A and B are shown apart, each in its own frame.
Chain A
Amino acid sequence: MNRRLIGALLVLVAALYALSLAVGPVWWPWRLGDAIGWTIVWELRVPRASLGLLIGGALGLSGAVLQGWLRNPLAEPGVIGVSSCAGFAAVCAFYSGLAAAFTLALPLAGILGAAIAVALLMNAVRSGTGTVSLLLMGVAINAIAAAAIALVLAMSPNPFAFQEISLWLAGSIVDRDLRYLAIAAPFLLLGGAIVLGAGRWLDALALGEDTAKSLGADTRSLGLRLTLGVGLMVGAATSIAGVIGFVGLVAPHLVRAKVGYRPGATLVPSMLMGAVLVLAADIVVRLLPTAYELQLGVFTSLVGAPFLVRAVRKARAAWLAA
């Protein structure tokens, strides 16, 4: 079942990637048959589609990892504040001019911010009461990060900076060139490689931390490994695109039932489903008849928020039944 699902998702990802190269203000740009058409493809469409693929995959995978690790179906990088914390760190690097002087400062700052948020959340979950602690800590991190982003933007000498809070809190991959792809891709791929091998330990953790330890899991090193992997993926993704919310929530929910609810088995399908969601959303925002192109993060939130409501209701029903 898993192989068929992965195969079907791969076909869908490939089709959406190809469509992403074709759709935009200039449709099928290669049909122009001259240097301009190919410049549009290589300089604009390829970076955009590739970032959609990698960032979507990273967010879907991060959501599946967090949900398996924290044993909580509501865990999602955007909802629990990992993305906004990464966004704040990236904003500091970008508007201070550090990113202009040292290109890698942008993804590195995002990764640091994301890793700090993950560590804070793990601490809250260990010392608190599960879902409530996780969501409250997420609400607090999101609120502090949004306020801190607004403060940094207000201090920027560029007159346009203060209007850009929406660009960071509702992300977009429009007009990112190959440089952004080059600086983000290694971190996204490395983060993915780090967490993809942890599937069997996530399955063990689903039985409880003590059982996982009895099965040979080193939960401390596993925690560090997952923090690093999620930090790399969410940090690099957010520093390039801003917060693209709910992908990490929706992607695992769409595939979980099809893989028998095993956390480890959701990783690859969630990654591919995340890529499908972001590539599809990025195509839709180009086609919507809005006066200005809608932020990708706005669209994913509009589509994804009902999933959060549904997940909260299910969690509440399970809590009442317990």
Chain B
Amino acid sequence: MPILELHWASTLAESETLIARMAKALGNEVEGRRLVEKMQADRQVLAWTQPPVGTAAVLQANRGTNGRGSLMNELLGLSGFRNLAAELGLPAFGRMSLETVLAGQPDLLVLDAETNANPARGTEFVDHHLMKVLEERAKVAQVPMKYAVCAGPESVEVLRRLAEARAAVKPGTAAR
């Protein structure tokens, strides 16, 4: 049985290369090319080509966030947001305290309601009273992190949700 070794795709471009390689290995290059072209077309429609509209903070379980070199950093950039974690120099999988988020005055909070649905200490920060203060100051986008961990066709769904949030964020409207 042939073995195909694929590395982790942490950017959209890398995921397109991997899809092409996988399709070729399966003898289905046409379908692979069609999938990549659809990803690129969707991205072109959803991408923001003007200057960033604001700063976004991604908050995951256990105060996790996605900083420099992460897929989420790329998706935020394509959607017209600066990534607070990246601006603070945090790595792709870093941690950011609630007070750091508050002090960063983000215009957008990116949360994941799906993993917060059942009780866990790591996700109970969504019920912290400080989150209510943050939510009064910033727009909230619910983005399932399962779409934002590995780059692929489902990353378009993240772009779509961030584009919806962008429409509600007016540059510089977060209370300063």
Residues of chain A within 8 A of B61, CB atoms compared: 160
B129 and A25 form a contact (CB under 8 A): no
Measured between C-beta atoms, what is the minimum distance from B120 to chain A in Å? 4
B121 and A44 form a contact (CB under 8 A): no
B97 and A25 form a contact (CB under 8 A): yes
Chain A interface residue number, banded = 20 to 34
B122 and A25 form a contact (CB under 8 A): no
A175 and B115 form a contact (CB under 8 A): no
- 1/0 per residue, CB under 8 A from A, across B127-141: the answer is 011100100000000
Whether, in the assembled complex, A156 has its beta carbon less than 8 Å from a beta carbon of chain B, the answer is yes
Return the chain A residue nearest B105 by Cβ: A36
B102 and A163 form a contact (CB under 8 A): no
Whether, in the assembled complex, A304 has its beta carbon less than 8 Å from a beta carbon of chain B, the answer is no
B115 and A40 form a contact (CB under 8 A): no
A25 and B130 form a contact (CB under 8 A): no
Q: A26's contact among B62, B100, B121, B125, by CB below 8 Å, is which? A: B100
Measured between C-beta atoms, what is the minimum distance from A47 to chain B in Å? 9
For the complex, give the distance between the alpha carbons of A142 and B47 in Å.
55
A44 and B98 form a contact (CB under 8 A): yes
Q: B133's contact among A39, A167, A174, by CB below 8 Å, is which? A: A39
For the complex, give the distance between the alpha carbons of A150 and B113 in Å.
25
Residues of chain A within 8 A of B41, CB atoms compared: none
A99 and B119 form a contact (CB under 8 A): yes
B122 and A177 form a contact (CB under 8 A): no
| CB-CB under 8 A for A156 and B99, given A175-B128, A177-B128, A177-B130 | no
For the complex, give the distance between the alpha carbons of A163 and B175 in Å.
36
B128 and A40 form a contact (CB under 8 A): no
Q: For B95, B119, B123, B125, which residue has the most chain A Cβ atoms within 10 angstroms?
A: B119
Return the chain B residue nearest A159 by Cβ: B115
Residues of chain B within 8 A of A157, CB atoms compared: 118
A36 and B103 form a contact (CB under 8 A): yes
Q: B119's contact among A35, A36, A158, by CB below 8 Å, is which? A: A158
Which residues of A from 19 to 58 have beta carbons under 8 Å from B? 24-26, 29, 32, 35-36, 39-40, 43-44
- 1/0 per residue, CB under 8 A from B, across A150-168: the answer is 0000001111110110011
Q: A36's contact among B62, B102, B121, by CB below 8 Å, is which? A: B102
Residues of chain A within 8 A of B98, CB atoms compared: 44, 175
User: Which positions in B face A, CB cutoff 8 Å?
Assistant: 61-63, 95, 97-100, 102-103, 105, 115, 117-123, 125, 128-130, 133, 175
- 19 interchain pairs (CB within 8 A)? A24-B99, A25-B97, A26-B99, A32-B103, A36-B105, A43-B129, A44-B130, A94-B119, A95-B120, A97-B119, A156-B118, A158-B122, A160-B62, A160-B120, A161-B118, A161-B119, A161-B122, A177-B129, A293-B97
